[in-house]
Chains A and B, each alone.
Chain A
Amino acid sequence: MNYSLIWLPEVLEQAGLKVARVLGWERRGRADAGVTLGVLCHHTGGSKNGNMPSLGVLINGRPGLRGPLSQLGLGRDGTYYVIAAGRCNHAGPGRWNGVVDGNGHFIGIEAENTGRGDDPWPAVQMDAYQRGVAAILKHTRRTADDCAGHKEYALPTGRKVDPSFDMAPFRAAVARLIQGGAPPPELIPPHEPAPASDGSRRITLRRGTQGQLVERLQALLGVRVDGDFGGKTEAAVRMLQRAHGLVPDGIVGPRTWALVDTAAPSGVERTARVC
């Protein structure tokens, strides 16, 4: 039977956010979750590599602590990974607004960040963090005050340090989003704005698309050319985007197309050969 936080991905999608469902999320949890009384913000303290390196640990737990360790994971590109619709081991002992059973009543969001000074929070991730929390609180008819940082909730005081950002401005931003008035997040256009010299406009590609355009992309990226935009192709796109300061979301929109044309490893090589 599905657990009761089954509404999570749809609520996040309606807020204009990127959402990835982890296989089996509907039935994952230590038990069913209780009535949602708020959101608890965490950072993973995980590795610096990749978009969501802690995902596996969040799903399965680690020695001495059984997973799932939070309902949601938030990748560095602002994608929400929906891990569980049930209760998760994320809160531990603590107290916020009179709630002492954080695992039972708070939805946990683990955002990917090392938690150290060497890993600044990307703007796209912080924006998605605030929008996601606001969407959940609005859906459950709670206020911005029902969102706490793990460091604020955990007892004894000082037991936890996450998240590494200041919660007061975060709550203020969430409050503004709940009231409305903030524009929805900027979306990637479905195709390139201006036709190329041959009159074609390349469409935006992402994981799951297929066809000749994907083959062209794969050739440019220097990965195996099979016309199927899979995990390996996406990882190669993310790596290229990360190296050039774009949002590493693995989606090939106009900006990434321009980047692939000029900077992709095999693209450079080909240009050199033509000259």
Chain B
Amino acid sequence: MLGSGILEVAIGVIFIYLLVSLLCSSVREGIESWTKTRAAYLEYGIRELLMDRKGVGLARSLFEHPLIFGLYSGGYAPGGEKRPGLLAHGNHLPSYIPARSFATALLDLIARGPGSPADAEGAAPPAPSLAAPSLAAPSLAAPSLAALRANVLRFDSPVMQRVLLGAIDNARGDLDKAQAAIEAWYDSSMERVGGWYKRSSQWIILWIALAITVGGNFNTIRIADYLYHNDAARAALVERSKLALADPDYLKRSHEQAQAELRDMHLPIGWGTPQGGMGSSIAVALVGWLMTAFAATLGAPFWFDVLRKVMVVRGTLKPDDDGAARRAAAAAPAPVAPVAAAPLVPALAPRSAQRAVIDAEALAAALALLVGRDAQNDVDACSALGRASHEETPDDQLPVATGGVAEA
């Protein structure tokens, strides 16, 4: 059957993409654990947030505050004034700072007032002994908001003054509320930091994917061609995909496990196997590598999800030999189960013709699933309508109804 053969090739290719993505992300994690680029982005983000580009005033005091100082080893050295590069080194600074620690530390700094040595530009940093955690306790003992407000007015950055005064005034005397407002302000800025990091990560993953694809000779065209002509390999790959989908921890697999799985499959990948057939010319190989590399940048969770969807569609194509269809039939109420097992047979069309129609539709649905959401079938609404509550239709905007009243 045409539809099912092509679908199985697609499943195989998607499964390979999934494994290559896993390889890429584990290499990426290895690089990150060495460079700590995220820490550099976080440090830059905090300097931006606190309006202290050079890292000599408030940002420095914050990083040297006992609550934050405990999160990393070594001293604080501010990064450059430009946004960190793709592989910027984060030194030993923390990759994450909890919003609560940030807000508590900042409030404590304000309570001490800008008169403390580190806040005056160019002043000497506080002695390391000051950063000992035991000293934090007395200063953290609930400063009054009025005192905080007075200290904020002594900061020289008007932007910081506005943010902090807003948080303090809206709290109406409640220190917890002021802290919550500062935490929210920090969180929204950290989303931006997350965005920078994600974009830089995408570029690095693309380079990793290119290296892995060419190094391991993962040629999409060659693999698809091989699977199309080799029924046994295709069936084996589909079985593997099913096992993978059934394993909830599949995406946590290590580099070695993914590599071993790729080796076990005996596909035309790597440089050891004899080259030949379609996909052996260098131009085709380039296209095939690029396809794999770009696919791998989409990430393992994405391919896992696509694999799941395609498996569901395949279940609708071959209802008798697929677990998904059986599960669907079992989940349906009792009187319907026998009907769900048999394909739809309307009175006016012969059975085989109707089967063909359904197969074509299933294939269209499969393509729609792969191409995008607003294609044809993969879209539905309910249960999510509530989110658009700002678009509620009030009663006086409803159209005119007829019926329901007896004739006079």
Q: What is the interface of chain A, defined by CB distance below 8 A to chain B?
A: 12-13, 16-23, 30, 37, 42-47, 49-58, 60-66, 69-70, 75, 78-79, 81, 89-93, 95-104, 110, 114-115, 145, 150, 152, 154-157, 160-162, 167-168, 187-191, 203-204, 206-208, 230-232, 234-235, 238-239, 249-251, 253
Against A, the Cβ 8 Å flags (1 = close, 0 = not) of B332-351 are 11011001101111100000
Using known A-B contacts A50-B394, A53-B394, A100-B358, determine if residue A93 contacts B381 with beta carbons closer than 8 Å.
no
A-B contact pairs, 24 of them (CB 8 A): A16-B403, A18-B403, A23-B399, A30-B376, A37-B344, A45-B383, A46-B392, A56-B391, A57-B385, A69-B381, A69-B385, A79-B404, A89-B374, A92-B379, A93-B313, A95-B315, A103-B380, A150-B382, A156-B324, A168-B335, A187-B405, A188-B404, A190-B405, A234-B398
Q: Output the nearest chain A residue to B386 by Cβ-Cβ distance.
A: A45
Q: Given A46-B389, A56-B393, A100-B361, output 6 extra A-B contacts at Cβ < 8 Å.
A: A57-B388, A65-B379, A93-B309, A95-B316, A97-B344, A188-B404
Tell me whether B335 and A93 are in contact (CB under 8 A): no
Residue contact A18 to B328, C-beta cutoff 8 Å: no
Q: Once the chains bind, are A188 and B405 in contact (CB under 8 Å)?
A: yes
Nearest-CB distance from B360 to chain A (Å)? 10
The 4 A-B residue pairs with the shortest CB-CB distance in the complex, in nearest-first order: A98-B344, A92-B380, A190-B408, A231-B396
B359-390 near A? 1/0 per residue, CB < 8 Å: 00110110001000110111111111111110
CA distance A79 to B400 in the complex (A): 10
Pairwise interchain contact A22-B399, C-beta atoms closer than 8 A: yes
User: Does B402 contact A97, Cβ atoms closer than 8 Å?
Assistant: no
* Pair B381/A90 contact, Cβ less than 8 Å: yes
B112 touches A (CB below 8 Å): no
Interface residues of B (CB under 8 A from A): 308-309, 312-313, 315-316, 324-325, 327-328, 331-333, 335-336, 339-340, 342-346, 358, 361-362, 364-365, 369, 373-374, 376-389, 391-408
Whole-angstrom distance from the CB of A185 to the nearest CB of chain B? 8
Is the Cβ of B324 less than 8 Å from the Cβ of A155?
A: yes
CB distance from B19 to the nearest CB of A (A): 22
| Interchain CA distance A57-B403 in the complex, whole Å | 25
Question: Contact between B401 and A18 (Cβ–Cβ < 8 Å)?
Answer: yes
Distance A79 CA – B391 CA, assembled complex (angstroms): 20
| In the complex with contacts A157-B331, A238-B395, A62-B377 CB distance below 8 A | no
Cβ contact within 8 Å between A54 and B385: yes
Contact (A20, B400) CB under 8 Å given A62-B391, A93-B369, A190-B405: yes
Assuming A17-B404, A251-B404, is B396 touching A232 (CB within 8 A)? yes
Question: In the complex where A55-B398, A231-B396, A232-B396 touch, is A204 in contact with B405 (Cβ < 8 A)?
Answer: yes
Q: Which of B388, B397, B407 contacts A190 (CB 8 A)?
A: B407
Instruction: Name the A residues within 8 Å of B381 (CB-CB).
Output: 42, 57-58, 61-62, 65, 69-70, 89-90, 110
